[in-house]
């Protein structure tokens, strides 16, 4: 599953890069950057939450 996530993230990153360079207006590029930052922050929070959760039943 982790390999699939890495592959998907690579494809999404390449697509985001393509869209970014296709957009001409600086304001729209800024919106793309802000969106990407929000997505990355959400992913980091998800990963952090998974690490905090206990793996077994609580004692």
The predicted-structure confidence for 6-56, as pLDDT tens digits, reads as follows 888 888 888 888 988 899 999 999 998 898 899 889 888 887 888 876 665
pLDDT of residue 54: 62
- For residue 59, tell me if it sits in a domain: no
* Distance, C-alpha 3 to centroid of its chain: 15
pTM of the predicted protein model: 0.62
- For residue 26, tell me if it sits in a domain: yes
Q: Which domain holds residue 43?
A: 2-52
Instruction: Provide the number of structural domains found in the chain.
Output: 1
pLDDT of residue 55: 62
- For residue 16, tell me if it sits in a domain: yes
Query: Rounded CA gap, 39 and 34, in Å?
Result: 9
pLDDT of residue 1: 64
- For residue 58, tell me if it sits in a domain: no
């Amino acid at each position: 599953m982790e390999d699939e996530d890495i592959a998907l993230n690579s494809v999404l990153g390449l697509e985001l890069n393509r869209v970014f360079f296709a957009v001409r207006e600086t304001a729209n590029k800024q919106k793309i950057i802000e969106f990407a930052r929000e997505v990355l922050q959400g992913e980091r929070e998800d990963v952090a939450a998974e690490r905090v959760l206990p793996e077994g039943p609580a004692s």
